[in-house]
Chain A
Amino acid sequence: MTVADIIEPVDAEFADSEPVVVGRPRLRIVDLIDETLAGVFARPARAALTTLGTVLGIASLVATLGISRTAGNQIVGRFDELAATQVTVKARTSGGGSSSSGSSRRAPLPWNVEPRLDRLNGVVAAGAVAEVSSPGSVRTAPLRDPENITEQLVPVYAASVGFLDAVRGEIVNGRWFDQGHVDRVDRVVIIGTDVADQFGITRLDAQPGIFIGDQLFTVIGILSEAPRDEGLVGSIIVPYTVAQERFATTTPERVVIETDIGAAQLIAGQAAVALSPNAPEGLNVTAPRDPKRTKDAVQSDVNQLFLLLGLISLVVGAIGIANVTLVTVMERTGEIGLRRALGAARRHIGLQFLAESTAMGLVGGIIGASVGILVVVAVASSREWTPVLDLWLPLAAPFAGALVGLIAGLYPSIRAARMEPVDALRAGT
C-alpha cells in the first residue's frame, strides 16, 4: 500500500464527510484577566519596583492638583463665608432734585430691629447702628493734664442690643449692654480695644469712667474684634436710647443682619418689609451677590513646577514599564512558544503582555492616587485647612496610570506577538 492509495479515497470522500475546522482561537476575558494577574504577580517584587515610577508620577500630579485646589478654596472660602452671610439695610437717601423723591415717602429705620428680624427664618442676629454726630472729645478724667494726651477724638456709635452678634463682635473683658441698660437708659459704654489701650483701661472691676464731651459714662465692656466692622475696635459704643437722650441721635443709619449660609438672598428680600412695612421701597438693601465661587485655582509657578515633575515621573515610569516588559518578553520566550503551540494566536500573545503592562500602570495609578490624596490631607491638616479634591481627580488618576502602562506595553507586546513559535520554542526552555 502506497501513500497515494490512502490519499485518494480521502480526497474522494471529502464531499460527504467534511472535517470540521475549529476556526479562530479565542480567549475568554476572565481567562485573560487571570493570566494577566498570574503574570504580574509571578514576580511581585519586580512588579512593585516597576510600578514605582508611575506611583510617583501619579502621586505628585494628584498631590499638586489637590493642594492647589485646597489652598485656592481656602482663600475663597474664608472670604465667602463672611460676606455671603451679611445683609445690610440702609435708609434710601433721597438725592436732591429727583422726581421720585416726592412720591416715595421717607422711611426711617427703626431701632427695635431685633424683634422685627429675629423671627425671620435664616436670621442669626440683627442690630442697628448710627454714628453719633459731634459727641465731643473723649477723656478719662475731667482734669486737663498738659503732659499727657488724655483727650481724643473718638468715633462714637449708638447701637441696639443685637448689633454685637450681627457684626460678630467679641467682648474680651466685661460685657455687652443688654435690653435692661437700653430700657433704663443707663449711661454705660463699650469701648474698643484700641480705645482701651489709648486710655490705659485694662480692668473693669473698678468701674472706670469715661467722659464723652462733658458727660460721664461707665465702661462695662471692651470689644476685642468685630470682623464685619473692623473700625469698631477704635470706637466707643453706647446704647441707642442713651444716644437719643444725650446726643440727640435720631434714627439708625444702617441695620446689619447676619444670616445662615445660603439665606442671605432670602433675607434680603424680606428685611425691608419687616423693618418698614409701610414703605419698604424706601430702604436700600445690600446683599451679597449670588454665591458663585471663583473656581480659579491658585496657579503659581511652584504648582506648575510640580506638575512638570509629575509628568516627567510619568514618562520615566512609562519607560520603566516598557523596559521591564521587554525584559519579561525576552525571558518568557519559551512561554510564548508554548502558548502558540497550545493554540494562541499572535493577538493573544500581544494582548497578554499589553494587559500585564496596563495592569501594572493601573495599580501604579491607584497607589499613586492614594498616596497623592494622603499628601493632600496631610498638608491640609498641617495648615488646618479643609482638604478639597475634585471628584474627577482620584477617578481619573488610575486611568492615567493604565494609559501609561498601555502605551509603555505597546512595543514589547508587538515584539512578543511577532515571535515565530518555532523560534520561541527553540530559544526558550
Chain B
Amino acid sequence: MTIVHPVVVLDAVSRVFDSDPPVEALKDVHLVVQRGDHVAIIGPSGSGKSTLLNVLGLLDRPTHGRYLLDGIDTAVLSDSGRAAERGRRIGFVFQSFHLLPYRTVEENVMLSELYLGTSRKDRRRRAVEALDRVGLSHRRTFEPIRLSGGERQRVAIARALLGEPSLLLCDEPTGNLDSKNTDSVLGLFDELHAQGMTLLLITHDSDVAGRARRRVRIVDGELGEVA
C-alpha cells in the first residue's frame, strides 16, 4: 500500500520576529494541503501572508511547530538540504515574475532545474514541454523584455512547473497584471488544477481567490477556513 502524504502539513506553526517588541507574524497555524488541492490564502497586507509563504517555501523557518512537506519534517534539514528540497518540491511564482533579463525565455525556464544537477539536454527538452503547456512555445527564443506581462507570468509558471514540483506556490501572481492577463493566468491555473497540480495562491484580491476551490483567510497571523 502506498501512502500518499499530504503535500503540506503545518502543525501549530508560529513565527516570531525578534524585534522590539517581538512581532508574532504567525500564531499557532494549522494547515493541511492535500495533493491536487487548489487553495487561496487571502488576507490584507500585514496579516502574515508573506511570512506564511516564506515558511511554506522553505525560505524561512518557523519559530515553533512542525512543517511537513511531502511528509518530510523540514526542521531536521540543513540549510543546503532545505535549498535542495525547495528546488525539487516547490515551484515559485512571484508577483514580479523574477525573470532574468538578457536570457531567452527558454533559458529562463531551464534555470529551474539548474541546481538539481540534471543534464542540460534533458532540461531543454522539458523546458520546451513546459512552455508548450503554458502556450508559449512560439516565444522560446524571445527575451523577457519583449513579452507582455501575462506572457512573462506564463514563462515564470513554466519555469515553476519544470521540475514537476509537489506544490506550486504563487505569491500575488496577478498583482502586476491587467484584468485580461489576469483572466488568462487564472485560466491557466484552472487547467493545471484540472491536471492534478497542487496550487497554493496568496492574494489580497477576492476575485482571484474566488477561482480557487478552497479559501483560507489569514488575519493578524491567525488562519481561518472560509466556507
Contact = CB atoms under 8 A, between A and B. Distances in A.
Interface of A: 2-4, 6-7, 10, 13-14, 16-17, 19, 21-28, 30-31, 34-35, 38, 42-43, 334-335, 337-348, 421-422, 425-426, 428-429
B96 A429 contact: yes
Given A21-B84, A346-B80, 16 more contacts: A3-B32, A17-B71, A19-B72, A21-B81, A22-B85, A25-B87, A25-B115, A25-B117, A42-B102, A338-B98, A338-B100, A341-B59, A341-B98, A342-B111, A345-B83, A429-B98
A338 B10 CA distance: 24
B103 to A, nearest CB: 6
B79 interface: yes
Contacts of A31: 114, 120
Interface in B57-72: 57, 59-60, 68, 70-72
Contact of A10 (B9, B86, B87, B88): B9
Given A13-B3, A27-B117, A338-B98, A343 B31 contact: no
A26 B98 contact: no
A422 B166 CA distance: 21
A153 to B, nearest CB: 88
**What's the interface size class on B, roughly?**
35 or more
A428 B85 contact: no
15 contacts: A2-B30, A3-B30, A3-B32, A13-B3, A16-B3, A19-B71, A27-B117, A339-B114, A341-B92, A343-B83, A343-B84, A343-B116, A346-B83, A348-B115, A428-B98
B101 A42 contact: yes
A394 B32 CA distance: 64
Interface string B105-133: 00100011011110110000000000000
Contact of B6 (A10, A28, A30, A334): A10
Contacts of A34: 120
A24 B84 contact: yes
Contacts, number: 139
A10 B11 CA distance: 12
A18 to B, nearest CB: 9
B5 interface: yes
Contacts of A7: 9, 11, 32, 68
Contacts of A28: 117, 119-120
A311 B88 CA distance: 47
B68 A10 contact: yes
Contacts of A21: 72, 77, 81, 84-85
Interface of B: 2-3, 5-6, 9-11, 30-32, 50, 54, 57, 59-60, 68, 70-72, 77, 79-81, 83-90, 92, 94, 96, 98, 100-103, 107, 111-112, 114-117, 119-120
A25 B86 CA distance: 10
Contacts of B30: 2-3
Contacts of A340: 59, 83, 86
A335 B98 CA distance: 7
Given A14-B71, A24-B80, A334-B96, A342 B87 contact: yes
Nearest to B12: A3
A26 B116 CA distance: 6
Contacts of A334: 96, 98
A391 to B, nearest CB: 36
Contacts of A426: 50
Give the 3 A-B CB pairs with smallest separation, nearest first.
Answer: A343-B87, A42-B102, A3-B30
Given A17-B2, A22-B85, A343-B88, A27 B115 contact: yes
A26 B57 contact: no
Given A10-B9, A21-B81, A337 B117 contact: no
B115 A10 contact: no
A257 to B, nearest CB: 69
A343 B32 contact: no
A343 B115 contact: yes
A37 B7 CA distance: 37
Nearest to B70: A19
Contact of A25 (B83, B89, B102, B119): B83
A342 B72 contact: no
Contacts of B32: 3, 6-7
